[in-house]
Structure 1
């Protein structure tokens, strides 16, 4: 019952709590060392996750800067995606009152004569006057509710637009807002509606232009007919039975046996560089990589030329960002390791100021990735891949140096291989063969694979950008296996959708460092349990000593009493 009772020096006068605390400090050193090793692992994990996030952000940021919005699940470029880039060629219009123009890399440098004969148009209808102004038929009450000729609230209304039934049912009565909302909720009819209560006008407009855009209004009930006729709709622009009809007031919508005419929009019609009467359903037209936004009719000329300075600037921005990444990895690989600066224990932190703790931990965290195998291997593999020659390109370039790009030598202190540009040579290559330069930069890589018989099918080397991305993604996967994805799993998937597949299937989403941390946690738990047992043991000994001294004191008192009584 009293086995755990602690007697703190009552008999001996010794401060047993302080004695035990001093003894336990020596025992605690073992736990502190293990906790420090665990903390170093956690810091190393943070350092890995930080550089991996730098790899991710480099890829995502440079993709965005290039205007590359779609990649494969492996993170590689889609075939010929570089031909859709908008900054390679520059297009100008001789008359921006007729058309605004832009272009992609696939457009050929040349002058293109264009004649816009007709703009694409949709179909629109509008009330010629205020709605429901007839003496008989439907009216619109002051409360906004539709009423029939007998002044009864209309609760059900039906008609069709482009063959789709518009059915509105409301016990409290139907308003024009209900009609508008119902029409606009039906995405498949290709028509939008609006009503301006201030002027009492109703409007319909096709959502697209061209001959496929149409409005056909039909009725299935008498009240539906009265409603449509009460709208007093006029067609402002339409093509009917193949003949374009345009007027100031347009054609009044009429219903014949419950069905109206089908009014269609008109296609844009242009001549383009010798090709006559090309029709499009939209005023945004793309031909051979040249996009025209038509504004008016008439003749104009498009001039397309390679934007040499623009292409050079994009390449330089990419290389500058890559070199910053190389500098960052070099710094990590060379960072000094201060082994005397161990992680601080809680007791040590209590004796220090906040600024002192921060300075100490800055030293303690330094050099955790010094000479790291994964980072060294990643950057070395990229450097080596950049100098590989490939015969897979259709253009004249097969080596990096042929377009004026090389890697910095080791003697200049570039452990990871910073890239250097020969501006004159690169600009000459861009001007002479922009397609070849773009292919050499952006051609998609093809990984090694196997056929159905297990025979190896060699992969294909990609362009410069592809090689750097591929090398970084390989390094990212190695770091994830070592340290996990941290809090950035979604970012990694943005780079490469299946990048976490092996980590999940082969490692059960537990990194190598995670496993080490778990082992340290177990050791710390066991050591703390041992400390508790050791502390209880010390207290048990001191308690036994106190009891023995207490008994001796009692015996001494008894003896004294006996002698004094004689």
Structure 2
């Protein structure tokens, strides 16, 4: 609102400022109403975005808790990724000094005998005796190895990753050699796949014992190491390291390989593996020494139950918040405050007022209602194509809570005894019921891949996908659809990265089809334009009132002057 310096009330007994102010209060009613409408939209946008963040965090946090970290760009879990879950089965080793074991859901329950005949090793070399020549110092290579001052040391190292050439002068030190070798990189791959990787060898010089150590980073037969040098000065340096491999002096130019681990796993004898960490039948082994141990694998019923229980608790929190927003009554006695009203209140009173004024901004909202309604419906449908014992949520002891007055329902409850019995009976079947992926590329989903967004599917394909998906998979899919609807309605706020973590291409439609402007944003911009127009109108209206009063003042002033002239005439 504009404000000009005005001098009024000089010729009349009226308080012009007060009178114009009262007249403008009536005129400002419409502006106040539009500004209140705008504020309600802003609050509605904030409430949408707040709930959408809860949806996103629910998906991300429960994925992480389950260990379902591998998803496609559309937010879909990679097929059968639940087989890699580490909390389903537990495994123990009878002799952890020989080997330890952990397991995934894929492992079969039972006991297995493991015998370690040989550990995997890389290529190891070490100085057989002190490397500093008699009378030499460790200050530089020339002194330490008895080289001529002008000698340039050139050699190459070959590993499974590639070949790297090195060059040093006599003035450099053995520590320079160690640092350069350890930082060496080689290029692997071709074209767009070309990248730099470590040469794959580690060097150490221990000055206290005056010995040099060489070792490949990799283990197994594929690990290789060869050092080549041509000129005499370079050969003198390499030989001066006095490297020894398996009790024999190192030969310049000769290739040395590591060794595989050799194990016997139950009836499978002589299994060769290039590492001491390996996986067999869903069990992850870490062997440490020769010897034998027995590993026992069984379903961890308590851990399994706790994962599902925590998921249900988090889902119920989401349902509770959504239901609260949908049923919260609007408090029509508390409208958004005008600027003039805020001037008369302190900060705390404003906060308390606005808290009540925000109540019910999403009452009976269709987007949220549809999302939560679909979640309930989809979870209660049978799953098609299962191989396990269960195809409905109630078969494992999970159902919806009993209806209570004033609640929209939808929360889940767990029958602990029934769920634990289902886990004991068929743990794989419970996993399939929860996490099954659709049969992409087959039947009704022919030509459909996991990288295709649900919005690109026909209604028949979407229905087929839902029927073939596990309960958790369905829930995530439905929440992602709801999140996209809310984004189109209210925007993304400051949370674009959060949404991309849920589904990397979630914002494509919002950006390309909606130009990153939500429906509420458009409505707010229209109201802001209307507010600007009303402010111009009020400015002109206020000036109009002041001009009227100014004219009246002018007329009264003229009348006063005439009256005074007449009085002077009569007195004369």
For the aligned pair, the TM-score class normalised by the smaller chain equals 0.7 to 0.9
Aligned CA distance change for structure 1 residues 553 and 61 (closer, same or farther; 3 Å): same
Report the Cα distance in structure 2 between the residues aligned to 1:369 and 1:306, rounded to whole angstroms. 45
Aligned CA distance change for structure 1 residues 288 and 552 (closer, same or farther; 3 Å): same
User: Does 2:194 align with 1:187?
Assistant: no
The aligned counterpart of 1:241 is: none
8 Å CA contact 2:383–2:470 kept in 1: the answer is no
The aligned counterpart of 2:313 is: 320
Report the Cα distance in structure 2 between the residues aligned to 1:451 and 1:67, rounded to whole angstroms. 29
User: Does 2:536 align with 1:529?
Assistant: yes
Report the Cα distance in structure 1 between the residues aligned to 2:60 and 2:427, rounded to whole angstroms. 24
The aligned counterpart of 2:189 is: none
Q: Which shifted more, 113-122 or 307-316?
A: 307-316
Report the Cα distance in structure 2 between the residues aligned to 1:563 and 1:357, rounded to whole angstroms. 64
Report the Cα distance in structure 1 between the residues aligned to 2:493 and 2:566, rounded to whole angstroms. 74
Mapping for residues 21-170 of structure 1, pairs under 5 Å: 21-133=21-133, 142=139, 144=140, 146=142, 152=149, 157-162=153-158, 164-168=163-167
Report the Cα distance in structure 1 between the residues aligned to 2:33 and 2:171, rounded to whole angstroms. 80
8 Å CA contact 1:210–1:267 kept in 2: the answer is yes
The aligned counterpart of 2:194 is: none
Residue 318 of structure 1 and its aligned partner are, at CA, apart by 0.9
Residue 153 of structure 1 and its aligned partner are, at CA, apart by 6.7
Report the Cα distance in structure 1 between the residues aligned to 2:176 and 2:481, rounded to whole angstroms. 58
Secondary structure of 2:108's counterpart equals coil
Report the Cα distance in structure 2 between the residues aligned to 1:390 and 1:85, rounded to whole angstroms. 21
Secondary structure of 1:323's counterpart equals helix
Report the Cα distance in structure 2 between the residues aligned to 1:16 and 1:195, rounded to whole angstroms. 95
Report the Cα distance in structure 1 between the residues aligned to 2:438 and 2:349, rounded to whole angstroms. 51
The aligned counterpart of 1:225 is: 235
8 Å CA contact 1:168–1:182 kept in 2: the answer is no
Deviations 1:429-452 (A, max 9, x none): 111111111101110246876769
Aligned CA distance change for structure 1 residues 461 and 563 (closer, same or farther; 3 Å): same
Cα RMSD for the two superposed structures: 2.7
Tell me the number of residue pairs that the alignment of Structure 1 and Structure 2 aligns. Answer: 538
The aligned counterpart of 1:274 is: 267
Deviations 1:336-371 (A, max 9, x none): 210110111222122122221121111111111111
Deviations 1:369-397 (A, max 9, x none): 11111111111111111221233111121
Residue 529 of structure 1 and its aligned partner are, at CA, apart by 1.1
Report the Cα distance in structure 1 between the residues aligned to 2:519 and 2:382, rounded to whole angstroms. 36
Mapping for residues 384-463 of structure 1, pairs under 5 Å: 384-411=377-404, 414-445=407-438, 457=461, 458-459=464-465, 460-463=467-470
The aligned counterpart of 1:362 is: 355
Report the Cα distance in structure 2 between the residues aligned to 1:411 and 1:550, rounded to whole angstroms. 76
Mapping for residues 330-345 of structure 1, pairs under 5 Å: 330-345=323-338
8 Å CA contact 2:383–2:433 kept in 1: the answer is no
TM-score normalised over the length of structure 2: 0.87
Can you give the 5+ residue segments of structure 2 that lack an aligned partner in the other structure? Answer: 187-198, 449-457
1:542 corresponds, among 544, 549, 555, to: 549
Residue 197 of structure 1 and its aligned partner are, at CA, apart by 4.3
Report the Cα distance in structure 1 between the residues aligned to 2:382 and 2:296, rounded to whole angstroms. 36
Report the Cα distance in structure 1 between the residues aligned to 2:356 and 2:524, rounded to whole angstroms. 22
Deviations 1:372-429 (A, max 9, x none): 1111111111111122123311112122221222122334765241112222221111
Report the Cα distance in structure 2 between the residues aligned to 1:462 and 1:418, rounded to whole angstroms. 21
2:507 corresponds, among 491, 497, 500, to: 500
Deviations 1:80-112 (A, max 9, x none): 111110111111111111101011111111111
8 Å CA contact 1:332–1:367 kept in 2: the answer is yes
TM-score normalised over the length of structure 1: 0.88
Aligned CA distance change for structure 1 residues 202 and 451 (closer, same or farther; 3 Å): closer
Secondary structure of 1:410's counterpart equals coil
8 Å CA contact 1:7–1:543 kept in 2: the answer is no
Q: Which shifted more, 539-548 or 495-504?
A: 539-548
Report the Cα distance in structure 2 between the residues aligned to 1:208 and 1:66, rounded to whole angstroms. 32
Residue 548 of structure 1 and its aligned partner are, at CA, apart by 3.6
Secondary structure of 2:255's counterpart equals strand
Residue 213 of structure 1 and its aligned partner are, at CA, apart by 1.4
Can you give the 5+ residue segments of structure 1 that lack an aligned partner in the other structure? Answer: 236-244
Residue 551 of structure 1 and its aligned partner are, at CA, apart by 4.1
